[in-house]
Amino acid sequence: MAAIIKKLSGANLDIDLASQGDVAWQQDQCPWNAAEGLNSHRCALKNVSICPYFCGVEYLDQLLCCYPHDNPLRAQTAA
């Protein structure tokens, strides 16, 4: 059976849980921002960086985060 979903490399996008003000949907707070009392950490910034705790996105807009633990996926991508 052929794969229906493909993993595509090279995405360049912005992902965060740090909306300013009210949003029309339920949104959890970034655990790193919550721990530090900030609103500055972002999961991924286009052309800038990817958070060391960011582990991906699942359907439908569920962010995967390992804060405060080491990212288990980083070792996989370095190999």
The DSSP H or E segment spanning 57 is strand 54-58
Give me the pLDDT at residue 60, please.
84
pLDDT at 10 over 90: no
Is pTM beyond 0.85 here?
A: no
Residue whose token pair is 């790193």: 32
The per-residue pLDDT of the chain, averaged, comes to: 84
